Amino acid sequence: MPSCMTTADIADLYGDQEQLASCDTQFFNYGGNTEFCGEIATIKCFQDNGLVKKTLNSPGNGRVLVIDGHGGLHTALMGDMIAQAGVDNGWAGVVINGAIRDSAEVAKMPFGCKALGTNPRKSAKDGAGELNVQVSFGGVVFHPGHFLYADADGIVVTAEAIDH
């Protein structure tokens, strides 16, 4: 598991090198941990959180789950019960290109959560989507196995863990 550094320090360390990607999407922080980092796992889905639930109920080993919900805000891809499963299973946090619900409860958890917004509406639970595929948003391609660093300033991604 990488040691978390601030995104500004990482950007200064790498400069404009190709080894660093900085996400342009302006996410809101919803988790109790504003700073979080870890190896990336990914899901691509739309208005269906079946894979999200299944994944966060599996061992996280300090990883960060990046969920491309195609920017959809019509339904929530994670709520407090699924977030608690992430905490219980050792996930560092999630980045959701979509919405969450139960945001007041998620904010109390020792868990990183960045999302576009909130919606109380549940999503489908069919498990439709793709697991551990490259996903892209905010000018960044998120590769499973690469490393994500998040804090109040944003999100940066590197191919290898930063040792400082």
Known binding-site positions for Mg(2+): 102
Closest residue by Cα to residue 65 from 125, 144, 119, 136 = 144
Sequence-ordered list of residues with C-beta below 8 angstroms from that of 141, at least 6 positions apart, any chain: 21, 134, 135
- Residue ranges of the annotated binding site are 79-82, 101-102
- Residue ranges of the annotated binding site for substrate are 79-82, 101
| Terminal-residue alpha carbon distance, the chain | 13
Tokens in use for 43? 């899901």
Closest residue by Cα to residue 142 from 110, 96, 106 = 96
